[in-house]
Chains A and B, each alone.
Chain A
Amino acid sequence: MASLVTKNFGLLTRFAKTVSNGSQRLSSHFIYYPDNEKPVEGEMAKMNMMQAINNAMDITLKQDSSAVLFGEDVGFGGVFRCALGLQEKYGKDRVFNTPLCEQGIAGFAIGLATAGATAIAEIQFADYIFPAFDQLVNEAAKYRYRSGGQFDCGGLTVRAPCAAVGHGGLYHSQSPEAFFAHAAGLRVVVPRGPIAAKGLLLSCLRSRDPCVFLEPKILYRSATEDVPVEDYTLPLGQAQLLREGSEATLIGWGTQLHVLLEVADLAKDKLGVSCDVIDLQSILPWDQETVCNSVKKTGRCLISHEAPLTSGFGAELAATIQNECFLHLEAPVSRVAGWDAPFPHVFEPVYLPDRWRCYSALTQLLDY
């Protein structure tokens, strides 16, 4: 009897594993690590990242009568439901659909901001932000500079869902942050969860510089936290040290941060090694101080991002780290990234820089 129970239990476990492997292949290459800290005191509510973003936009639309929210399919709430209920609440002239044209959305948004309004533009997927590249890089980024400060489009924030989602293939999975990181004048921000998303988005919306806010779409529903209901902001241009350790520094942003937190746990469990884990949050301008202080302390650094390796933002970090921390480095800076290929459909599990690739790189870094 006992053996039967054990046998059944074994079968069940195996079944559960199969299911979880299946769902892992489709949606979950990471375990979500919710934030436990409260950025502000006061009432909290359970929110997923979609709701936190909705909440930030709701606060902005309520407080700032110049603020408008627009993009493709935003009127009915957006394909990811981030704008849910906002048109009903604020009216069609403040929350509206645009024609299907990304360069138009970006240009229109710049014009609104130039005229002094707060423009919240949505690009349906970050993969489709490239038609707006000219407007964002040649226009938005350079508006203040080229006019000698006479004109600016600081009221502009472009939101776009980014990164892997399990089955997004080439054009529903991209992480384009490095393309924008080369455009002086822009701010580029990626949140790792609901609390960060609300605080950072509110900062972007109030920032006097144009911002590109990239939202890891896999977190919209899967990430839930107790988010302060009240208004709060989180500083732009600052990284956050989430875990303190001594042997290595792990740096990432967005979804990948959760992969790195798990790798830090694996390292602790399997190797007894403790790591600093840093969420960069702001890609441009980025927080050199937090990163370099950590690497000077640990002497080893692993950077990981979903975007392809070559000229990914990890390259910028690695180059700066070797310049600033040369005498403290015990090993070459390691980069674990997406491969230098378009983001594939069925190969996603072997494309992503998952926990095992990061863990493997960390062991090599520690053994160097």
Chain B
Amino acid sequence: MALKTGASFLRLNALRQTVRLLSTHTRPEVQNGGKTGDFPGAKAAYVTQMKFLNENSYDPIPIYRVMENNGEIIDKHEEPSIENEKLIEMYKTMVQLNQMDKILYESQRQGRISFYMTNYGEEGVHLGSSAALSPQDLVFAQYRELGVLLHRGMTVTELINQCYGNCEDPGKGRQMPVHYGSSQRNIVSISSPLATQMPQAVGAAYAFKRQPNNDRVVICYFGEGAASEGDAHAAFNFAATLDCPVIFFCRNNGYAISTPSSEQYRGDGIGARGPALGLHTIRVDGTDTLAVYNAVSSARQLALQNKPVLIEAMCYRVGHHSTSDDSSAYRPLEEIEKWNKDESPLSKFKAYLERKGLWDDEADKAFQKEARSIVLKTMQESEKKKKPHWKEMLEDVYYEMPEHIQKQMKEMENHLKKFGEHYPLNQYQSE
């Protein structure tokens, strides 16, 4: 294994030199007697040789790994010291996440919930990052971070209530499934518009920074597709110029619905944008839970010094984009299979635990069964609960209900008195 890695590394290096020799776009040599420009916009050396830079001018940012696919630690110094109990908890959460995904995905197929998005292939990203944070840190998520929410202590019941939009959903049934949120767990409610949470995370981090003896950071998750939004650029730039305690965590899973990353950007992924905008940046193997853990732990320390960080976690979206998507329409099954089998963050982490003697197949089977039954039981209960009272439709638009909305509520009330039989009123709570 080690030999194989070494060989491919040599090949990569040789390739890079070829690219460099052929390319006219490498970095120009500085040969000008040490003269530097003093422009306000940039402090840099003058050169007398004209050369354009392009994506090949810099080496690609390397991908940080801690363990091999078989769970073996590559460099002992890099193994994080996580307590055994915590490691087991992390793995269990991954399994719970997987079971939730499986059952809720199926339940959408059966028409029991309206929509769902799975997290397959990104479990390591969720657990590695969440485990490295403090529960006080504020999370701004995109929508594919359920493992973070579970690890934070959101219960299967709370999450499934949200998917059903029943009377116990803290979001009061107003948003589509998977748009979770919990003020108690410091998880800001998810919204559908992509990347909008990014500059918001920076603003929240700025507010934290102004607190005396601040010990909180903000983490903001987003996909590589969302990183193309203008809000992503705004967020990176604001975080850097305003020195905010924020960690940007990019899940680069190769696809934004059907769009491959080759059609999303031409540079060196999302990571390359970090140094360009003044962010501390690292690229990690997102299927390696320990690598993610280490990166986020260190990022948190930097962020606490008001140095914003960008982490690009390379992974693969094993599942469909959502229940409204059939990904076989735009990618080969073999590709999915490869990432599902050889590069599964779940089996890598399990292998690591097994090497440490913390887990085995028997424990795995037993917990899978337990996790599955928790989800099934919760679903049966959540399904039976009524939806919130229809009047919740008009609450919380403002802090206090303004007169015109009160009038509209009265209007609907009168309407339902006459025409109530045409509405599914028995599904909602009554007064």
A contact residues vs B (CB 8 Å cutoff): 66, 68, 93, 96, 98-99, 101, 103-104, 106-117, 119, 131, 134-135, 138-139, 142-152, 154, 184-185, 187, 207-209, 237, 285-286, 288-289
Contacts and interface: CB of A to CB of B under 8 A. Distances in A.
B199 A135 contact: yes
A315 B74 CA distance: 69
A114 B174 contact: no
A23 B402 CA distance: 43
Nearest to A100: B237
A289 B402 CA distance: 12
A293 to B, nearest CB: 13
Contacts of A111: 199-207, 218
Contacts of A99: 234, 237-238, 241
B260 interface: no
Interface in B367-400: 395-400
Contacts of A134: 193, 196, 231
A248 B110 CA distance: 62
Nearest to B277: A99
Given A99-B238, A111-B200, A146-B171, A285 B403 contact: yes
Contacts of A93: 210
Contacts of B183: 147, 150-151
A111 B199 CA distance: 7
Contacts of B169: 148
Contacts of B235: 104, 107
Interface residues of B, number: 48
Given A99-B234, A103-B231, A104-B234, A146 B398 contact: no
Contacts of A185: 397-398
Interface of B: 138, 169-172, 174-175, 179, 181-183, 188-189, 191, 193, 196, 198-208, 210, 218, 230-231, 233-235, 237-238, 241-242, 395-400, 402-405
Contact of A148 (B170, B200, B242): B170
A117 B397 contact: no
A227 to B, nearest CB: 28
Given A116-B207, A131-B230, A209-B399, 19 more contacts: A96-B242, A103-B231, A104-B202, A107-B198, A107-B202, A108-B206, A110-B203, A111-B199, A111-B206, A111-B207, A117-B210, A145-B174, A147-B181, A148-B172, A148-B396, A151-B188, A152-B399, A185-B398, A285-B403
Contacts of B205: 111
A115 B203 contact: yes
B170 A114 contact: no
Contacts of B400: 208
Contacts of B193: 134, 138-139
A341 to B, nearest CB: 28
16 contacts: A68-B206, A98-B242, A108-B203, A110-B200, A111-B202, A111-B203, A114-B200, A117-B210, A138-B191, A139-B193, A145-B174, A146-B174, A150-B170, A150-B171, A154-B399, A184-B397
B178 to A, nearest CB: 13
A209 B199 contact: no
Given A139-B191, A146-B179, A68 B404 contact: no
Nearest to B220: A111
Given A103-B231, A144-B399, A209-B398, A135 B238 contact: no
A285 B210 CA distance: 33
A131 B191 CA distance: 19
Contacts of A138: 191, 193, 196
B400 to A, nearest CB: 8
B175 A146 contact: yes
A103 B234 contact: yes
Contacts of B234: 99, 101, 103-104, 107-108
A114 B230 CA distance: 21
Q: Shortest 4 CB-CB distances between A and B: which pairs? A: A111-B203, A107-B199, A104-B234, A115-B207
A147 B170 CA distance: 7
A112 B198 contact: no
A233 B189 CA distance: 32
B230 A103 contact: yes
A145 B392 CA distance: 10
Q: Select the residue from A119, A144, A154 with max chain B CB neighbours within 10 A.
A: A144
B317 to A, nearest CB: 25
A207 B400 CA distance: 10
Contacts of B179: 146
A66 B201 CA distance: 17
A104 B138 contact: no
Nearest to A118: B207
Contacts of B402: 237, 285
Contacts of B199: 103-104, 106-108, 110-111, 135
Given A111-B201, A134-B196, A147 B231 contact: no
B256 to A, nearest CB: 18
Contact of A104 (B191, B237, B396, B404): B237
Nearest to A156: B203
A150 to B, nearest CB: 4
A101 B399 CA distance: 29
Contacts of B405: 184, 285
B374 to A, nearest CB: 24
Contacts of B207: 66, 111-112, 115-117
A31 to B, nearest CB: 34
Contacts of B230: 101, 103, 131
A148 B171 contact: yes
Contacts of A101: 230, 233-234, 237-238
B196 A146 contact: no
B189 to A, nearest CB: 4
Nearest to B195: A107
Interface centre among A103, A114, A146, A148, by most B CB within 10 Å? A148
B206 A112 contact: yes
Given A112-B207, A139-B196, A288 B403 contact: yes
A104 B238 contact: yes
B171 to A, nearest CB: 4
Nearest to A153: B200
A68 B207 CA distance: 9
A111 B138 CA distance: 11
Contacts of B397: 144-145, 184-185
Nearest to A237: B402
B208 to A, nearest CB: 6
Contact of B203 (A96, A114, A147, A209): A114
